Structure 1
Amino acid sequence: MPARDATRFGEPCWADLVTSDPDGAREFYGRLFGWSAVRSDLAGSEYVTFRRGDADVAGMAVQMPGSQTPDAWSIYLAVEDVDATTEAARSAGGQVLSAPLTIGSMGRMSILMDPSGAPVGLWQPLDFAGFGLIGEAGTPVWHELNTLDYRAAVAFYETVFGWKPVVLSDTDEFRYSTIGAEGAMVAGIFDASAHLPVGVPSHWQLYLGVRDVRSAADLVTQLGGTVLHEPWESEFGTFARVSDRTGAMFVLGSVDQATDQSAAT
């Protein structure tokens, strides 16, 4: 895909990592994806933007002292009006985890939990639109909601964000829909009710592109991360589910094959 030069409202526009080990994360992701880390110029902020070349590809924030929340990647959906969308989400059965907040001149954000229990961020762009590059090695290539309540999740995102999901499969063995403009799907909804381990809640999952998934998975281990699901092949490419040094999970996805749809387990 080319550099991302437009914000399509309702679709993923940013991802950031909340970590308890920012120095370790800089090294891990820098060596794995070739990312550089640029500190925010907002006064008092420890936020970091990861870049591939000159393009912004992800962010990183530091866990608050005493936080009991596991380190994790978060996905943000672009919206025209974060306040109105937050209220619409509340009315549609979502919970507001973090009320709308202005981030300097960059934009406004809030954090929700959808009715199936998956947290998701909202981003109203002002000076900062989000991803500068997608669909290539070292950049986001897919975003996926793994949900324990597929029907409720689909209805929520249709109502709040105007999604028009395209059904990829609708069987008890594999139930999956995709969203995005025609010919440019960017995210999926996976019925994970029969697949997630007991105790694992609904969640959004980030896919990051690499040229060689097996080599990248080996490098994850060398860098102190963990391979959670060994590389597997599908009609959509090669994938491996991994975590970084502190347990933040993401998926490696090949960019030498089609990556506009995922292959959920």
Structure 2
Amino acid sequence: MVEVTERYAVGTPCWVDLSSRDQQAALDFYRDLLGWQGEVGAPEFGGYAVCALNGRPVAGIMGPVDPGPGQPAVPPSWTTYLATDDAEATLTAIGDNGGTVLLPVMTVGDTGKMLVAADPSGAVFGVWEPLEFLGAQVVNEAGAVVWNELHTSAPGEVGAFYNAVFGARVAPMEQMPEYLSYEVEGRSVGGVLNLADDPPGTPPHWRTYFAADDVDSTVDALVKAGGNVLSPPTDQPWGRVALVQDRDGATFSLITPAPM
């Protein structure tokens, strides 16, 4: 288990949360699938639920997102948040470098500040400036986030964007030159894939990977709980991976990482 006790470096994926059509149903689904503990939160925070794994925050789940007057409904989806030390400065940098701010900086009580944006290719991501809440406090174990991956139609353009906004670097991964690494301070903290490898019609997005001790049995449990399999478990150099949807249609990956 990897416990996080210090601030994430700027640009590092630090949190994920789910927008769902039925918050309680989503809480029940992920409790049974990944072993999370969570409940609907305080009304002043819109009922936002911070889910825990072995008592430590691992992800958030909220109800339907209000898109605003005249805007299409926001589909159920997972959002990856990137760490920052200054949310206001990051908001400015996003606009200055071809991104689009979807939700301006909002202070979330004493926990931190957040915003939501899209990169130049249209992939949506969140930004988190911690105050009292660092983000995920456990990663890289069964039931927790183990990887975040950007799927984009313009790897070069978005690489320049994330470098300008967060100081991150997108470059070929040494062991797999066909796969791009998303690096912060010289360390690979995520991946980047060309959207051409996704099914036709898939929009640019950040994908969340959750670790599982046994992907095959976890996928079986997901199906029994009303989830959907988009790509069945397959062996990859980095582990055994499946692409799935929860009962609400939010897409994510499950992986049993290969032994290091």
Partner Cα distance (1:170, 1:118) in 2: 26
Structure 2-normalised TM-score? Answer: 0.92
How many pairs align?
Answer: 255
Matched position secondary structure for 2:157: helix
Matched position secondary structure for 1:38: coil
Partner Cα distance (1:169, 1:226) in 2: 34
Give unmatched runs, 5+ long, in structure 1. Answer: 259-265
Q: 1:181 to 1:162 in 2, by over 3 A?
A: closer
Of residues 188, 191, 205 in structure 1, which corresponds to 2:191?
Answer: 188
Compute the displacement of 1:18 (Å): 0.2
Partner Cα distance (1:108, 1:80) in 2: 10
Give unmatched runs, 5+ long, in structure 2. Answer: none
Q: Does structure 2 conserve the Cα–Cα contact (< 8 Å) formed by 1:114 and 1:153? A: yes
The runs of at least 4 aligned residues of structure 1 exceeding 6 Å deviation read none
State the partner residue of 1:23: 24
- After superposition, the C-alpha distances for 1:61-94 in whole angstroms (9 at most, x for unaligned) are 1104686111000000010000101100100000
Matched position secondary structure for 1:115: coil
Report the residue type matching 1:189 in the other structure: V
Matched, 1:215 2:217: yes
Q: Does structure 1 conserve the Cα–Cα contact (< 8 Å) formed by 2:48 and 2:62? A: yes
State the partner residue of 1:4: 4
Compute the displacement of 1:253 (Å): 1.1
Where do residues 1-265 of structure 1 align in structure 2 (5 Å cutoff)? 1-6=1-6, 7-41=8-42, 43=44, 45-64=46-65, 68-168=73-173, 174-182=178-186, 185-192=188-195, 194-255=196-257, 257-258=259-260
Partner Cα distance (1:255, 1:181) in 2: 23
Partner Cα distance (1:50, 1:215) in 2: 22
Q: CA RMSD of the aligned region, Å?
A: 2.0
Q: Percent identity?
A: 35
Structure 1-normalised TM-score? Answer: 0.90
Q: 1:256 to 1:35 in 2, by over 3 A?
A: farther
Compute the displacement of 1:5 (Å): 1.5
Q: 1:170 to 1:86 in 2, by over 3 A?
A: farther
Q: Does structure 2 conserve the Cα–Cα contact (< 8 Å) formed by 1:180 and 1:187? A: no
Partner Cα distance (2:214, 2:179) in 1: 28
Q: 1:220 to 1:159 in 2, by over 3 A?
A: same
Partner Cα distance (1:75, 1:224) in 2: 24
Residues 4-13 or 84-93, more deviating? 4-13
Compute the displacement of 1:234 (Å): 1.2
